[in-house]
Structure 1
Amino acid sequence: MSIRIEQNNCIGCGRCTDVCPGNLLYLRDHKATIRDARDCWGCTACVKECPKNAIFFTLEATLGGAGGRIYAHDSADTLTWELALADGETQRITVNKRQANAY
C-alpha cells in the first residue's frame, strides 16, 4: 500500500508535510508532493491530517483490488475511515477516539 495525492483537491495547507514522520512530503507549486512513495511507512498520518481528502491510501488486491482507496475523516470525537472499493462500493468504519485505546 502507498499514499497518492490528488493534486486537484490539494489546497497547499502543508498540514501533511508537518506530520509526516519520514519527511517524505513537501510542497511544490503550492501542492503536496511525495518524494518517493516506495519510502512511505504507511503510518497514515498525512491521510488523517488532510482536510480535503487529497491524500489517500491505495489498496492491494487482497484489500479491495486495484483502484481501491482509503480516506480518513477526522473530527473532535471520531475518526472515520472510508474505503472506496474498486467496484464502486463504499464502506465506512468509525472509531470513537475516547475509546480507541481501551483494549
Structure 2
Amino acid sequence: MSIQINKLKCVGCGKCVEACPGNLIKKDTDGKAFIKHVKDCWGCTSCLKECRFEAINFFLGADVGGKGSTLSFRQKGSINTWTVTSPDGTVKTLEVNRQESNKY
C-alpha cells in the first residue's frame, strides 16, 4: 500500500509534506510533491486528508484486500467524502458529517 501523487493536480502548497510523519514526501524543482520511495509509505493517509486539491490517492493493493483500487478523500465544509475506485471503474463513496460523527 502506498500513495500516488498526481502532479497535474498538485499546486505545491506543501501541506502533505508537513503532514507526513515519515518525512517521505518532498517537493521537486517545480515545487510539486513527490514520494521517492513509495515502498516506505506507512499508509497512515495523513497526506491524503491534508490535500485539498485531490492530488493524492491511496493505492489499495491486493495485500490489503483492495485488489488495485484507489482511495481518495475530499472535504467540503463539515462533510468528509471517501471514494474507492476499483480497477474496473466501479466507484463506492462514503460521506461522513464530522459534526455528527462523534455525537455519542
Could you tell me the TM-score, scaled by structure 1's length? 0.86
Give aligned pairs, total.
101
Q: Corresponding residue for 2:60?
A: 59
Mapped partners of 2:40, 2:99: distance in 1: 31
1:66-85 → structure 2 map (5 Å cutoff): 66=68, 68-85=69-86
Shift of 1:76: 3.1
Shift of 1:98: 2.6
Shift of 1:95: 1.5
SS in 2 for 1:98: helix
Mapped partners of 2:18, 2:76: distance in 1: 19
| Cα-Cα RMSD | 1.6
Mapped partners of 1:35, 1:89: distance in 2: 29
Q: Corresponding residue for 1:18?
A: 18
Mapped partners of 2:5, 2:18: distance in 1: 16
In the alignment, structure 1 segments of 5+ residues that lack a partner are none
Shift of 1:20: 1.0
Pair 1:39-2:13 in alignment: no
In the alignment, structure 2 segments of 5+ residues that lack a partner are none
Shift of 1:16: 0.6
SS in 1 for 2:101: coil
Q: Is the 8 A contact 1:49 1:74 kept in 2?
A: no
Give the percent of matched residue pairs that are identical in Structure 1 and Structure 2.
40
